[in-house]
Chains A and B, each alone.
Chain A
C-alpha cells in the first residue's frame, strides 16, 4: 500500500518540537506527483483513499480539534483554515486545545493543510470523533411504579426504600454493611453522561453545581438537565437517597452529583467532553463516572483524563458491551482508569460484558432498577455496572479523603469476590465482583501508585517522537498498552508499581502524524523485568537508527552527484558519485536523497509540441463554464468571469505509439488562485495527475503518460467561496516526449540499509531528482 504514503504527505501536519522550540517541517511539499512511473495515477482517488482512513470512525464534519502551545501559531492556522474558534481549554500553561468550526469538510481541511508550512507551536490536529452511550438496554419501562408505589411507601424495612427487594445489586455488594461505615458524604461524583433529572424525588440535596461544556454555563445545583434517561439512571445507582421511604437507594446515597451532560442527547464531541472533564477536575470532582466510549483514540481526551489522573481524581469507565476479550476501546483502555464490567444476580459475568486487560472489576449490571425522569426503569449494560464502582469509590473517599486513584482502585480490587474460574486477575472479571462491605474493611494501601512517563526523542535529543508504542507486560495483573503523543510522552498514571517487561516499537509508519514513511525506519527496544516504582518517574528513551546507503554510478557517461537535503532546513550535503558511493547516517532527522547529473539530461524531440504563439488552439477542445482562450501566446483558463463552483477546461486526444518506457507530458504553468481552495488540475483520461494553487509564476511540469490513446485535460476549478488572485491558470509550451531508449542508462541503483533492513531502489534520472523508492510521491527518509 505504498499509495498510503500519500496520506502522510497530506495529513503529516503534526509538528515535532525541537527542544529549542524549533519545528520540523513535515509538510514542505507541493502536490507534485511527477515521480510516478505510471501515467494513470488518480490523485483524487489516492487522496480520498488515504483520507478515508479517518472514516474508520464516525466524526463530526466541519470540526477540527487543535492542540497547541503557541497562541500566534494557532491564530495563524485558524486564519489559514478560515475557521472559527468555538472554545479553548487550557490544561496547563502552554498546553491548550481549541475546537475549530470549518466552512469546509474535515477532509477538505486536511487536504488544504497539505500546503500549509508553519506548524510551529501546534501539538496536534484531529477530527472530533463521534461516540455513543453503550447499547444499554431498557428492559422495562417502569414509570408507573411511582404511582403504584406511592401507597406503600411506609415500608420500615432497612433501608427504608420501597424498591429494596428489586435492588439486587445493593444486596449483592453488601451495601447495608458498607453504609455502616460510609455513605459517600461530601464526595463529589461527576456524572459525565446524558444529564440528570434533578427534580426526581429520589435526589434530595444530592447535587453540587454542574457544567454544560457546550454553552459554558453552570448547571446550578438542583437544576434539571436530562437529555437522555441514561444519565439519570446512572446517577441514581450512584447517589439516590436512602432511608427516605421513596424509590430506590444509591450505593453512595450521600454523595454529591455533579452533572456534566455530554449527550444532549447526541454526543457533544471530544473537545467539549475534555472541557467538561477539565471543569469537573478544577471544580471539586473527586470521581469522574463514565458509562460511554467506543473505538477511536483521541489526543484531547487522553489529555483530559491524564489531567484528571495526574490531579488524583478517580476515573471510572464502563468497559463496553461487546462481549469479546480485546484491548481496544476508548477511554476504557487509558492506563490508570478503573474499568468496569458487568455481572448478574447469580454472580455470573454478563454475556455482553466486554473482556480484556481494561477490566479492573465487575459490578452488578443486569436488570438494574434505577431512576429515570418520571419514575424508575430497569436497564442493563456495563453502563449500569460502572456507577456501582463510582459509588464505591465515593464511600472509600469518604473514609480515606486523601487516597489516590490508585489506592482507591486497589482497595476495590483487593476486596473483590472472584466470580470466574481463574484466581486473581483475569480478563473476564478483572479482580472479581465488587464487595462494598469488604472494600470498606480494607486498609489504605501504603503505595500511592506509579505515575510513570516515558519520553521519546531522537538520538540527538532534538526532537520528541510521537506514535511510539509501548507495551507494559507482566506476569500477574493486567498489561498496559499505549502510544506516545506529539510531545513524545507516554503517560501511565496511577498504574500498579510492579515488574514489567517493557516492549517499545515505532513510530508507527501508518499513523498520519508520524515522522516516517517506512516500516523499515521503525525501531524497537525491549527491557525485561523493569521495575516501575511507586511515585512519579519520567524516563527518557532515545530512538537510535542505523543507516547507510550505497549508490552505483549509472552506465551513461556524466558527472553524478548525490545530495542529502535536510527537510527541515536549507542544509544539504553533496557527494560525488564515482563508480560506487556509500554514505552513512546524516545528521538530519528527515532528509531527501537526490541525484544530479552533468550535463543535464536532454529528452528527444517531442512527438507533439505546441506553444500557441499563433494564437490558435491547435484543435484543443474548450469546455466548462468559461471557455479558455489564447492570449499573448499562451492559454488562459478561468479568469474574472469564472463564478463560484465553475470551471474552465481544455482537452485533446492523443494516440501515442509504442514506447519502451512511455512518455512525458511537459508544459509550462502559471497559477493565480486562492491557495488551497481553487485549483489548476491536469487529468489524463479523467484521472487527476497534477494540481496546484496559490500564486505561482511560470514553472515547468512534467508528468508521465503511457503509450496508447489518452485524453489530456487541463482545468481550472473554483470552489464555492471567496476568490483570491486572478482565478486563472496559464499554460504554454505543451509537449509530449518519448522517454529515450537510454532511460535505464541513467538509472541509479542504490541500496538503502536502515535498521538492518535493505531497500533496493532503481531510479532513472529522467524521472526526477528525488530517490525514494516510492511511486507517486517524493518521500523523505527518516532516521533517529
Chain B
C-alpha cells in the first residue's frame, strides 16, 4: 500500500521572451502562428454554460484579435488566435445583455498550444443593458517580497512566499469584493474554494504560499467583482523555483484513502437549482454548528435524533450546480487514527490534487495547505461512521470546474507536498456526475378540486438518469401540508417511526411513476407504511387518526426530498432535486447548508 517514491524535482527555467509579450505586429504580414483558447463561459461557479455571449480576444494594445460567440452546442468554445509571435498575452472579454461584463486579463497563449480558461459571466445586478467596458473598476496589482521589495512578476523567478497588493478605484460601480490569488485554480466562493480569502476593501494585501505552486510555470488567478457583477479575472504566468527540501523517502506520507476505511473518496453533486456561489456563504441557523470539534468528545452521544438515522447518502446543466468533493486522510487525521509511522513519517506542507478525464493523464487542479485541512478527514470519517448528514462534512477540496460534465467520468488523485518534493499519487478513483432531474407532481395536480379524501399520490422524475458506474436509484420523501386553512402538523407516511428520520423513503431503480395511496391509519396490501402526524420542527411523530383526509379542505402536498444516487466502491454520485425541511434548512442530503426547496407544494381540495 505504501509505495513510497520520490517525485524528482524538476527545475524548469522558463525564459519569457519579452518580444513575445510585447509584440510589434507587422501589419502587412500574414500571421505566422496560431494558438487556441478553449474557453468555458458559465453563469456562476459550478454552474451551466452561458450561450451566445459575445467573446472578444484583444491584445495588450487593445487590438481585437478575434471575435466569436460562446458556444450554444458545446460546453467549451474553441477560439483560434492568429499570432505573429510564439507567445503573447491577451485579454478575453465576454458580454451579453442582462449580464455583467466579464474579462480575463493576461492569458498567456503559445503557438500551437491550447490554453484552457473558464470565466464566469454573472447576471447583471444594477444595470441590464448598455454596459460599457469603461465601467470596470480601475485595478492595480503589485507584487512584492515579504519584506516589501517589488517583484517583476513577468520576469522574475519566484522562490519564496510573496505578497500581492490589490488596489481598486471606482469608475461607475463600486468594488464588490476581491478573491485572493490562488495558484493554478480560480478562486471562487468559500463553499467551493475555502482556501481563498475575500476582501471588500479597496486596498488589500494577500500573502501567497509558494508551496501551492510547482517548479516551473504556474498560473496565478485573482478575481475582482464590482457592484454590477462585472468581473475581472486576472491570470499571471509565474515562474517558480522552490528551494530544495530535504526529505527522505521513508519520511514521506502518501495520503491514505477513505475507501481504505470503507468510507467514500469522491462525492459528486448535481444540484437542480443552482446557487450562484459567490462571496461569503453564510452559516445557516441550525444546531449542527454547535457540534464541537473536540476529538475527545463522543460524537455518537452528541447526535440528536435526526442524526441517528443512517442516510444512505447521498460543466453543470443549465441553472444547476455541479461540483465534486474529495476526501482522503490528511496526515493529522491519520496520525490520530494511528495510521502514521510516527517514527519516520513527517507532516507534509500540503497536498496537490489532480484530475483526469481518461484515467491516465492527470493535471493538477489545486493545492491545499495541511493546516487548512488539518483533521478534516478524521471528523468526516466520524460523521460518516455515525451517519451525519452531508452538510456536516468538510471536504478537503472541492472541484467546481466548468470542465466537469454530467455523464463524464472523472478521475482524481492526491499527493503529499514537501516543498519541492511530492509523494506518489494516491488514486482516489473516479466518479460520473449525474444529470439534474426534477419531480413532477402528477396527482393530485396543483389546484385540483373534488379530490378523493384518500388520494393516490403520484409523481415522476422528469427525466431518466443514467450512469456507467451502476444503477441509478431515485429516492423520495413526501409530505402533506395541512397549513392552508389550519396550523396542523404535517402528515407523512412512515414504515417505522422509531428509525425513520423524515418518513418512508420511496426508492426506485427506475424513473417510473411512484404511486403512493393515502391509507391513513390503515395498513394496506402493497403499501409498507401508515400515515402519521409529523412535526418537522421537533420531529415528533403521532399516528394519524383516520383513513381519509378532512372533507372539502385545501391541503398541499410535496416531495420535499428527492435525490438520485449511484454508489460504487470509491464514489457516490448524487443528483439532488429537493432537500427541504424548513425555511433555509434541509435534511442534510444537500451539502449546501440551506438545502434546496422544491418548486411546488401542490394545492388540492378534497371532496365531501
Complex Cα distance A470/B485, Å? Answer: 8
Contacts of A510 in B (CB 8 A): 482, 486, 488
Interface of B toward A, CB cutoff 8 Å: 98, 123-128, 172-174, 176, 200, 227, 273, 446-447, 449, 481-489, 533, 535, 537-538, 540, 542-546, 548, 550-554, 556, 558, 580, 583-584, 597-601, 603, 605-606, 608
> Ordered nearest first, which 3 A-B pairs have the shortest CB separation?
A505-B552, A524-B608, A524-B552
Query: Chain A: interface secondary structure?
Result: mixed
Whether the pair B484, A56 counts as a contact (CB closer than 8 A) is no
Known: A1-B533, A322-B583. A296 touches B487 (CB 8 A): yes
Whether the pair B449, A3 counts as a contact (CB closer than 8 A) is no
Q: Could you jot down 21 A-B contacts, CB within 8 Å?
A: A135-B584, A166-B227, A168-B127, A295-B487, A321-B583, A323-B597, A324-B580, A326-B600, A328-B484, A328-B556, A344-B125, A348-B123, A469-B486, A471-B552, A483-B485, A503-B605, A506-B550, A506-B553, A508-B485, A508-B550, A525-B552
The residue that B552 contacts in the complex, of A145, A348, A503, with Cβ under 8 A, is A503
Contacts of A344 in B (CB 8 A): 123, 125
The residue that A469 contacts in the complex, of B174, B533, B553, with Cβ under 8 A, is B553
Whether the pair B599, A325 counts as a contact (CB closer than 8 A) is yes
Contacts of A346 in B (CB 8 A): 98, 123-124, 128
Query: Chain B: interface secondary structure?
Result: loop
Tell me, yes or no, whether A366 is within 8 Å of chain B by CB: yes
Contacts of B488 in A (CB 8 A): 53, 508, 510-511
Shortest B19–chain A CB gap in Å is 43
Tell me, yes or no, whether A218 is within 8 Å of chain B by CB: no
Contacts of B554 in A (CB 8 A): 327, 469, 471, 481, 503
Contacts of A141 in B (CB 8 A): 200
Shortest A415–chain B CB gap in Å is 21
Contacts of B537 in A (CB 8 A): 55-56
Contacts of B598 in A (CB 8 A): 324
Shortest B454–chain A CB gap in Å is 13
Contacts of B485 in A (CB 8 A): 469-471, 481-483, 508
Contacts of B128 in A (CB 8 A): 168, 345-347
Number of contacts between A and B (CB, 8 Å)?
161
The residue that A505 contacts in the complex, of B173, B176, B273, B550, with Cβ under 8 A, is B550
Q: Whose C-beta in chain B lies nearest to the C-beta of A333? A: B484
Q: Whose C-beta in chain A lies nearest to the C-beta of B98? A: A346
Q: Whose C-beta in chain B lies nearest to the C-beta of A134? A: B583
Contacts of A511 in B (CB 8 A): 486-488
Complex Cα distance A681/B449, Å? Answer: 49
Q: Whose C-beta in chain B lies nearest to the C-beta of A756? A: B608
Shortest B535–chain A CB gap in Å is 6
Shortest B228–chain A CB gap in Å is 9
Tell me, yes or no, whether A40 is within 8 Å of chain B by CB: no
Shortest A362–chain B CB gap in Å is 16
9 new A-B contacts at CB < 8 Å, known A346-B128, A378-B227, A523-B551: A4-B545, A140-B227, A168-B128, A345-B128, A346-B98, A469-B485, A505-B606, A506-B550, A511-B487
Q: Whose C-beta in chain B lies nearest to the C-beta of A48? A: B540
Whether the pair A140, B200 counts as a contact (CB closer than 8 A) is yes
Tell me, yes or no, whether A367 is within 8 Å of chain B by CB: yes
Whether the pair A503, B449 counts as a contact (CB closer than 8 A) is yes
Whether the pair B447, A295 counts as a contact (CB closer than 8 A) is no
Tell me, yes or no, whether A741 is within 8 Å of chain B by CB: no
Whether the pair A479, B447 counts as a contact (CB closer than 8 A) is yes
Residues of A in contact with B, size category: 35 or more
Whether the pair A324, B600 counts as a contact (CB closer than 8 A) is yes
Known: A49-B542, A140-B200, A326-B556. A524 touches B584 (CB 8 A): no
Complex Cα distance A469/B485, Å? Answer: 6
Name the interface residues of A125-160: CB closer than 8 Å to any CB of B.
135, 140-142, 145
Contacts of B173 in A (CB 8 A): 166
Tell me, yes or no, whether A522 is within 8 Å of chain B by CB: yes
Tell me, yes or no, whether A519 is within 8 Å of chain B by CB: yes
Q: Whose C-beta in chain A lies nearest to the C-beta of B553? A: A505
The residue that A504 contacts in the complex, of B98, B200, B543, B552, with Cβ under 8 A, is B552
Q: Whose C-beta in chain A lies nearest to the C-beta of B598? A: A324
Whether the pair A1, B544 counts as a contact (CB closer than 8 A) is yes
Complex Cα distance A321/B600, Å? Answer: 14
Known: A52-B538, A56-B489. A526 touches B124 (CB 8 A): no
Complex Cα distance A52/B540, Å? Answer: 9
Shortest B134–chain A CB gap in Å is 13
Shortest B283–chain A CB gap in Å is 13
Shortest B122–chain A CB gap in Å is 11
Shortest B17–chain A CB gap in Å is 43
The residue that A526 contacts in the complex, of B127, B542, B552, B553, with Cβ under 8 A, is B552
The residue that B556 contacts in the complex, of A145, A322, A327, with Cβ under 8 A, is A327
Tell me, yes or no, whether A82 is within 8 Å of chain B by CB: no
Contact with B along A525-541 (1 / 0, CB 8 A): 11000000000000000
Tell me, yes or no, whether A165 is within 8 Å of chain B by CB: yes
Shortest A717–chain B CB gap in Å is 26
Complex Cα distance A511/B553, Å? Answer: 14
Whether the pair A140, B545 counts as a contact (CB closer than 8 A) is no
Tell me, yes or no, whether A743 is within 8 Å of chain B by CB: no
Contacts of B533 in A (CB 8 A): 1, 4
Complex Cα distance A348/B273, Å? Answer: 15
Shortest B1–chain A CB gap in Å is 47
Contacts of B601 in A (CB 8 A): 324-327
Whether the pair A327, B603 counts as a contact (CB closer than 8 A) is yes
Whether the pair A345, B481 counts as a contact (CB closer than 8 A) is no
Complex Cα distance A483/B482, Å? Answer: 13
The residue that A324 contacts in the complex, of B124, B489, B546, B597, with Cβ under 8 A, is B597
